[in-house]
Structure 1
C-alpha cells in the first residue's frame, strides 16, 4: 500500500478537494483478471469507449495462460480480429455448441457483417455457451472507434446473465477539445455531461459519464468495475487518481475503480479511505 493525503487543485477539474488514498499495485507483473476480481465461470461485459477491444483480447490472453477455455464475442458489432489474436474462430452463428472445445484457448464466435466487422451470437445461443466455457468475455458497447461516447436508451447491450460489467474510460481525453470526431453520439453525451462543442474535456465530464443514470453503467448487471485506461504518464496517473477521488461515494462502495494501461500491461486499484 502507498497511503497518502493531499489537497489537490486541478486546473482541468476547476475545483479544490482533499482526499486520502491507498494505491494497491496488484503485482509486479499484474494480472488484469486479478485486479478486476474476475473468476472462473464469469460472464464479463465490457462497455464504454477508449480501449474495449484491446482489453477484451488482453483478458482473453491472460485467461488462456491460466488454463481457461474462454469465449470472446460481442453483443453489438466489432471488427473481426486478425488470426494472431485467437486460437479458433466460428462465424456461423452457432458457435461451439456442436463441437465444444477441449483445450484452453481463445475462442471467438459470432456472425459476419459488412466492412470487416462481425456481430455476436443470438442471446439464447450465447447463454448456452456459458456452460461450455470457463469464462465468457463480451464487447457490449459500440463507440465507432471514438474515445468518448453518449448512450441511446437501449445502450449498452449487456446480457441479463452477466456477472461483471467493466466500464472503460479513456483518461487521455482529459484536456482535449470536444468535437464530433472525439465523441460518438454527441447529443447523448451533451445531455449526460452538459458539455458543448468546443469545450475542453475535464475530470468532471468523465465523472458524469460514469455516475449518470443514463451513462456508462445504465444497463450494468452484476459487479461494476470502472477501468481508467491509457494511464501512461505522470499526468495521466494524476488525472486517474483525481477521477478516482470523485468516484469515492459511500453509496458506490461496492464499485471497484482500477487504473492502468493495456498497452503497457500494468494496473493498480484505487482504494479510498
Structure 2
C-alpha cells in the first residue's frame, strides 16, 4: 500500500522543481518528510521559506547543511543531501530574497518552500499578503487539518475570528475550499490539497467532501503516521 508521502511524490512527479507548501495543520511536517523522501531518492534538496519558520534548534529539519548567508551559493550540493537556507531574524528564521531562491532552484533537483503561516492553528483564511507563492513555483501542496469537526471555528481557524459562533462541519470545509482567501488561494503548478489528521474523522465526512468537490485533487491522510486514507485525482 502506498504511503501518503509516496503518493504525493507520484502526484508531483515532473513538477517537483519548486514545491510550495501552504495552509495550516502540518506544513512543517510535510516539508521535512518530503525532503527526507526526495533525498532518499538521491535528489539534491533545498529547504527554505518565503515567510518565517522556526530556527533549527527549535525544530529539527533533518538537513545535512545549514546556511544563513551568501555561502549557500558556493556550496556544491551532493545527490541525496538536504540543504537548509534562510536568513536570521530576531525571533524566527526568515525568508531569503525570492531572487536568491530562484537562482538556487537551478542547482537543486527539488526546492521545498514553506510559504505560509498560521500561528499553530488547524485551519486558515488568508490575509491579503499571504500565502507567498513565487512565480517560479511548479507545484503547490495546500494543507488543512481534518480533525476539528465540532469545534468552534474562531478557536481553530486563523483569520476566522469574526465568526465566533460557527461550529466546524462539512459546510465549513466547503467554505474554506471555495473562499477567495481560503485553502486554494494562490496555488500554482501541479496542485494537491491534503486534509491532514483524517484518521480522526468519520469516513462519511471524507465521502461528503469528495462528492462536493469531484474536480479537486484531494488527499486524506496522516502526515504523522505517513498514512494515505483516500485520494481523489480528477
With the length of structure 2 as denominator, give the TM-score of the two structures.
Answer: 0.89
Q: Give 1:203's aligned residue.
A: 170
Q: Give 2:102's aligned residue.
A: 127
The unaligned stretches of length 5 or more in structure 1 are 1-25, 191-195
Q: Give 1:183's aligned residue.
A: 157
State the Cα RMSD in Å: 2.2
**Offset of residue 43 of structure 1:** 0.5
1:1-273 mapped onto 2 (5 Å cutoff)? 27=2, 31-39=6-14, 41-81=16-56, 82-83=59-60, 85-92=62-69, 94=70, 96-115=72-91, 117-179=92-154, 181-187=155-161, 190=162, 196-233=163-200, 235-248=201-214, 253=215, 255-271=216-232
Q: Give 1:11's aligned residue.
A: none
1:172–1:236: 8 Å Cα contact kept in structure 2?
Answer: no
1:270/1:85 CA distance change after superposition, 3 Å: same
**What per-residue deviation string (whole Å, max 9, x for no partner) do you get for residues 9-50 of structure 1?**
xxxxxxxxxxxxxxxxx6268614435334375210111111
**Offset of residue 256 of structure 1:** 1.3
Paired with 1:162 and 1:214, the residues of 2 have a C-alpha distance of: 19
Count of matched residue positions in the alignment of Structure 1 and Structure 2: 232
1:186/1:108 CA distance change after superposition, 3 Å: same
**What per-residue deviation string (whole Å, max 9, x for no partner) do you get for residues 160-210 of structure 1?**
01011111010002211233x4222225xx5xxxxx203211111112212
Paired with 1:79 and 1:241, the residues of 2 have a C-alpha distance of: 35
**Offset of residue 151 of structure 1:** 1.1
**Offset of residue 98 of structure 1:** 1.5
**What per-residue deviation string (whole Å, max 9, x for no partner) do you get for residues 110-162 of structure 1?**
011223x1112201010011111110011111101111221111211100010
Higher CA-based Rg? 1
Paired with 2:97 and 2:19, the residues of 1 have a C-alpha distance of: 17
Provide the secondary structure at the position in 2 that maps to 1:208.
helix
**Offset of residue 259 of structure 1:** 1.1
1:129/1:247 CA distance change after superposition, 3 Å: same
